[in-house]
Amino acid sequence: MAASAVNVMLAVHEKKTTAVDLYRPLRQYIATNFSEREAQMAEDDLDSVRQMRSEVEKPTNPSPESRRDLLLSYYRAIALIEPRFPISADRSHVNSLNFTWYDAFKPSKKASLQSIHLEKSAILFNIGAAYSQIALSADRTSPAGLKQACNGFQSAAGAFSMLREAVAPKLAALGGATIDLSVECAGMLERLMLAQAQECFFEKVIADAKPHGICSKVARQVGLFYEEAYATLNAAPLNQHFDRTWISHIQLKAAQFYAEACYRCSLELHGKEEIAEEIARLKIGINALTDAKKSVKGIAAPLLDAVSRLEGYMNQNLERAIKENDRVYLMRVPPASSLISLPAASLVKPVLMNEVLDASKERLFSNLIPDNSTKSLSRYTEMVDDIIRTQAEKLQQGSEITRVKLKEMDLPDSILALDGSFSLPMDLKEDVEAVQISGGPAGLEAELQQLTDLRRVNQELLVQTEELLQKEANEDTQFRTQFGTKWTRPQSSTLTKNLLDRLNRFAANLKQAAESDARIERSIRDHSTFMSILDRRPVRQSPFAPIEAGDLGAQRAGLEDMLKEMKRKDDILPKLLATSGSHEDLFKKEIAKYDSIREEITHNIEAQEQLLLQIQAQNEEFAAIFNLEDYKVARDKCYKQIAAAIAKYREIKDNINEGMKFYVTLQDAINNVKQQCSDFVMTRNIQCREMLEDVQRQMAGLNFASGQSNLPRTTSHPSSDPQPAPRPSSFTLPFFHRPSEHARPGFSQPYTNYSQQPPPPPPPSPYQAPGQYQQYTNQPPPPSHDYSQPAYPGWRGPYYNTQMQQPATGHPPPSPYNIPPQNYPQGGYYRPQ
């Protein structure tokens, strides 16, 4: 026993032992009962066991954590030794091993037995002691340390609980063990460790300033655990075995936390102004502390100080409550016997040690399989096979019963009418799913709107292109009217005929496309109700409740596969080798794995019976209302309606797709022609500028010649002053400003200078010789440009096809964007003109 002066809690010291050599006796047994070869193969495992036993005797690392890990490993090794090496006084067993262990609370007492059960009990006791030492060494002033202490005490309780339930009873049956390994002592230590773990929780709720009611419940449970431990200590065989300080400590702790629960409850009652019960609770708690302090001896000073402080707080509150009751409330204080017991709240429990002590994953002595383990494995395998066979027969029998009863009801003809999805044929079902995936009839309206948008875009492009040509033709007409015969370039109408023809054809195509769109819209409107069946999920709903017969069959097949998979993975040999004695408990635990699937199979069979009753009732109802032949006719008619709806949907869908393809192709063609028209207008603008300059030069020359012919003749007298020549009259022409390099509308690049023409020659100087001037004025100057020719080589090309480019047939060349009629199979939609 060890006590902490700060934490005022208890830990358990480990049991001491004497040296034991495990190597030689165990190796001799392997060589005798298995073979020398097996003994040689097991030498490493034997060395490991001998090393662990030596460290248990004389620990090399004193830390509680290292000690705990060593004890856990050695316990798992013992669990593997027990079923392989029978240790007893029997001559056929390992009879040279004698384990000796001293009592942890009375070191003068010891037990020596030729039994592995003493070794297991002592090691499990020491595991609990190591956990208690880890918990006691934790710093409970920090949240992490408080949590570590609480977990350590719960793990210690788990070790002592396992000792009490599983190991100590076997040792008690042999007799001769010390009292510290008795069932009673293990139970007392379990209660003590739980009390201290719950006390850690009490410290936490106080630190977290939880409500007084919660603190009272937690404190009361601490007191109950201590009371249970104290009751066991006062009974045989422990009442004469433990030191008086242990008994006093646990007794005072029980009283302290009972008083603490009363104190916390009184604080809650004071807040509710229940002064009478507050006074009663305080008196009960103070009396418990007073009685306990009278009988305890050898208590640690910190624990006495804590108890005295608590008693002082309670006395102060009691005096205050009595004064308030005498002056204000005047309530009658109830007797203690009339009060109900204080409620408790347990927040701790023993940690199960099965997982950390499970030796089935250890590899020690894995090659040694004793005969009794082999026989046990064979017996367990037979038990599993019987379960698998029985359950599989139940499933097969259920399937056969279903087939027979359905045949008696003349099914599955009737059940097709009861199926919620109307049992569409596979090809028809796939067609319906394809229609629904593509959007279904409900999505046709949106696609029709896309057609309308595409047609509007094409119409706008067409209008923009025609406006380009019209603007250029208007400008050409204006200049031709202004300058008359001097405006010698070809008229726009003679150059744009092919372009206009193509635009007219596009306009005609758009007109016919609009009519086709209208037909599609009418078709959607007329057949929307007819096609709406394709939007439903499922396609047709039966008036009867759907019968999930197929689901039960699929579930049954899955259950059969699950049974086979469970049997394949069910290997309990490692657990058999790690378990000693009777394997009935192990078998019961392992067989329980199959309980869940057996329940599922039972539920499946029961659900099948209910389903068959439902099918029978609905089949009778169906047969009373319908004739099967009439049903088949109606079903086939429904199939045809669905197929017709699919065909109509596909027809409309194809027409819409055809229209979209047409509009996209037409948009590309109009954009192409628009670009040609833009190039044509740009070229004509360049020619217009050049012709304006030539006309201006001609007009300027004519005006100058007229001015010279009207000059007065002069004499040859040198003394005469020359008369100034009159200024020639000027003919005002509309001046054409050369446009700056602005970007063309709708294009990101500036106008391109397609022709690098030399600048026109300047008009003749008025100071030239008369003969030269006369020659210039008698003949009009030749134009610097022939405006009936292209402005740049190749400009005529595919843009402006003159009569020389027309084919010999006299027919206009076909538009490259006229789509052949065979591309429009559905009623001639979008057939070009």
Per-residue model confidence (pLDDT) at position 377: 66
Query: What values do phi and psi take at 812, rounded to 5?
Result: -65, 150
Name the pLDDT band for 258 (thresholds 50, 70, 90): very high
Task: Give the model confidence (pLDDT) of 637-682 as tens digits.
Answer: 888 888 888 888 888 888 988 888 898 999 899 999 989 999 999 9
- Report the alpha-carbon distance of residue 681 to residue 464 in Å, rounded: 13
Are 105 and 242 contacting, i.e. CB atoms less than 8 angstroms apart?
Answer: yes
Q: What is the mean pLDDT of the chain?
A: 78
Helices (H), 208-356: 212-233, 244-271, 275-295, 301-324
Are 85 and 94 contacting, i.e. CB atoms less than 8 angstroms apart?
Answer: yes
Q: How much of the chain, in percent, has pLDDT values that exceed 90? A: 38
Per-residue model confidence (pLDDT) at position 386: 82
Q: Is the pLDDT of residue 148 over 90?
A: yes
Token readout for 1 is: 């026993």
Task: Give the model confidence (pLDDT) of 310-369 as tens digits.
Answer: 999 999 999 999 999 999 989 999 999 999 999 999 999 999 998 899 887 888 887 776
Identify which has the larger pLDDT, 568 or 171: 171
Per-residue model confidence (pLDDT) at position 400: 82
Per-residue model confidence (pLDDT) at position 485: 81
* Burial call 746-770: b when 16+ CB within 10 Å, e when fewer: eeeeebeeeeeeeeeeebbeeeeee
Name the pLDDT band for 383 (thresholds 50, 70, 90): confident
Q: Is the pLDDT of residue 121 over 60?
A: yes
Per-residue model confidence (pLDDT) at position 628: 61
Q: Is the pLDDT of residue 695 over 70?
A: yes
Lowest-pLDDT range of 268-282, 368-382, 609-623, 730-744: 730-744
Do strands 2-3 and 10-11 pair parallel, antiparallel, or not at all (unpaired)? antiparallel
Identify which has the larger pLDDT, 617 or 86: 86
Which whole number is the average pLDDT over 606-613? 83
Lowest-pLDDT range of 77-91, 119-133, 586-600, 720-734: 720-734
Per-residue model confidence (pLDDT) at position 809: 40
Q: Is the pLDDT of residue 828 over 70?
A: no
Which whole number is the average pLDDT over 135-161? 95
Which whole number is the average pLDDT over 219-245? 94
- Report the alpha-carbon distance of residue 33 to residue 92 in Å, rounded: 9
Whether the CA torsion 756, 760, 761, 765 is positive or negative: it is: negative
Per-residue model confidence (pLDDT) at position 225: 97
Task: Give the model confidence (pLDDT) of 458-506 as tens digits.
Answer: 999 889 998 988 888 898 888 888 888 888 888 888 888 888 889 999 9
Per-residue model confidence (pLDDT) at position 712: 43
Per-residue model confidence (pLDDT) at position 811: 43
Q: Is the pLDDT of residue 263 over 50?
A: yes
Q: Is the pLDDT of residue 745 over 50?
A: no
Q: Can you give 441-506 as a three-state secondary structure string?
A: HHHHHHHHHHHHHHHHHHHHHHHHHHHHHHHHHHHHHHHHHHHHHHCCCCCHHHHCHHHHHHHHHH
Which whole number is the average pLDDT over 192-212? 96
Per-residue model confidence (pLDDT) at position 38: 87
Q: How much of the chain, in percent, has pLDDT values that exceed 70? A: 75
Which whole number is the average pLDDT over 264-283? 94
Per-residue model confidence (pLDDT) at position 564: 77
Name the pLDDT band for 441 (thresholds 50, 70, 90): confident
Identify which has the larger pLDDT, 531 or 518: 518
H or E element: which one contains 112?
strand 110-113
Lowest-pLDDT range of 329-333, 702-706, 821-825: 821-825
Per-residue model confidence (pLDDT) at position 349: 96
Task: Give the model confidence (pLDDT) of 69-84 as tens digits.
Answer: 999 999 999 998 888 8
Per-residue model confidence (pLDDT) at position 110: 94
Per-residue model confidence (pLDDT) at position 550: 57
Task: Give the model confidence (pLDDT) of 524-580 as tens digits.
Answer: 888 878 787 777 665 544 444 444 455 666 777 788 788 777 777 776 666 666 665
Instruction: Name the range with the highest mean pLDDT among 54-58, 486-490, 517-521, 607-611.
Output: 54-58
Identify which has the larger pLDDT, 371 or 503: 503
Strand, helix or coil for residue 11 = strand
Name the pLDDT band for 227 (thresholds 50, 70, 90): very high
Per-residue model confidence (pLDDT) at position 638: 82
- Report the alpha-carbon distance of residue 97 to residue 114 in Å, rounded: 6
